[in-house]
Amino acid sequence: MNRIIPKIFNGTRQLVISETFCCDPNQDVRIFLPITQEKTAELRFEFKSDADASNRHVEISKKENILILTLTNFLNTLGAALTKPVELNIGKDRFSLQIYGTSTGKEMLCLTLSLFKEESDNG
């Protein structure tokens, strides 16, 4: 039987990956995204907490060819999400990243990441 693979769009952006996984927020999470057959982008997620639990945000930095996203205050049992997607440029491509997380304790974080690619005018 042939597998049906849907194409999902949000406006002009196509969903390229959406994953839900659980991890230990005391450790970094690394995701390798194949951009072309020759090129792979690495995203590294780091998790932090501060005194103001309502202050949720993502800081983006780059070290060599690694894009580092530091998520602050995502360890919430009710869930935490960004109100705006994170905009990323990887090579010549433009992406937006949506993040949602719920915590079941200091050693378990379940994240849902959805990465959308901006479709070019020529498809």
**What are the residues whose beta carbons fall under 8 Å from the beta carbon of 20, sequence distance 6 or more?**
110, 111, 112, 113
- Domain hosting residue 83, numbered range: 9-117
In a domain, 20, yes or no: yes
Residues 1-22: b if buried by 16+ CB within 10 A, e if exposed: eeeeeeeeeeeebeebeeeeee
**pLDDT tens-digit map of 57-116:** 788 888 887 889 898 887 776 777 777 888 888 778 898 989 888 888 788 989 999 999
In a domain, 71, yes or no: yes
In a domain, 45, yes or no: yes
Q: Which helix (H) or strand (E) holds 111?
A: strand 108-118
How many independent structural domains does the chain possess? 1
| Confidence at 121, pLDDT banded by 50, 70, 90 | low
Shortest CA distance to 33 belongs to which of 25, 23, 41? 41
